[in-house]
Amino acid sequence: MSSSTKEHKKGTDKVYAFSLVTISTSRFNTYGSTESPSAADDVSGQRMSDLIEAAHHNVLCYRLVADNIADIRKEVLSAIFNGADVVITTGGTGLSACDVTIEALCPLFEKELEGFGELFRLKSLDQIGSATILSRATAGIIQGCAVFCLPGSPKAVELAVEEIVIPEAGHIVKHARS
């Protein structure tokens, strides 16, 4: 890490509050509105929670919602209103007609972090090859909160959270709130 990057990251080694939102109509139809990834048999949600807690951050809340633009926005904005520093969504980033996470959240971004999606796809290349082009993973800032939109696969979640989100969350929040 360069000295300028170290300087930029100074003061970002705090404990942050993360809110997790899994977006899946099929899972929502099976389990309903639940506040625990284990109660929804949500492997990706549980993996996110485990990684965040292992990094000594707090999981403020977990929500399960259907692929519905209004519901997605409501849960993300509620998480921000309730004190989340970082919101991570999983699911709804694909190419099917019902995948609407990006359509729900990108219009709310005050700033988009294009580099997140680019880096995520680059890192995914080793795991899934050229199929990485199907990912619409993105991130942005809403009201000073970092919001990451991840695919629903557990491997994609693990890659993004472990290698990008956790290492950069504090840095992003620091600049988003300055």
Look at residue 50 and tell me if it is in a domain: yes
Which amino acid type is present at position 136? R
66 occurs within a structural domain: yes
31 located within any domain: yes
Give the model confidence (pLDDT) of 15-25 as tens digits: 999 999 999 99
pLDDT digits (tens, 9 = 90+) for 103-143: 999 999 999 999 999 999 999 999 999 999 999 999 999 99
Confirm whether 85 is domain-assigned.
yes
Does residue 61 lie in a domain region?
A: yes
**Would residue 5 count as lying in a domain?**
no
Q: Please write the tens of the pLDDT for every residue from 141-169.
A: 999 999 999 999 999 999 999 999 999 99
Percentage of residues in the chain having pLDDT higher than 70: 93
Number of domains composing the chain:
1
Q: Which CATH number covers residue 32?
A: 3.40.980.10
- Kindly state whether residue 1 falls inside one of the protein's structural domains: no
Q: Which domain holds residue 37?
A: 14-176
Nearest to 87 by CA among 12, 146, 1: 146
Whether pLDDT at 7 is above 70:
no
pLDDT 10s digits, 69-111: 999 999 999 999 999 999 999 999 999 999 999 999 999 999 9
Cα angle 34, 39, 44; round to 5? 95
pLDDT score for 51: 98
Residue 119 lies in a domain: yes
Sheet holding 58-65, edge to edge: 58-65, 17-23, 86-90, 145-150, 138-142, 111-112
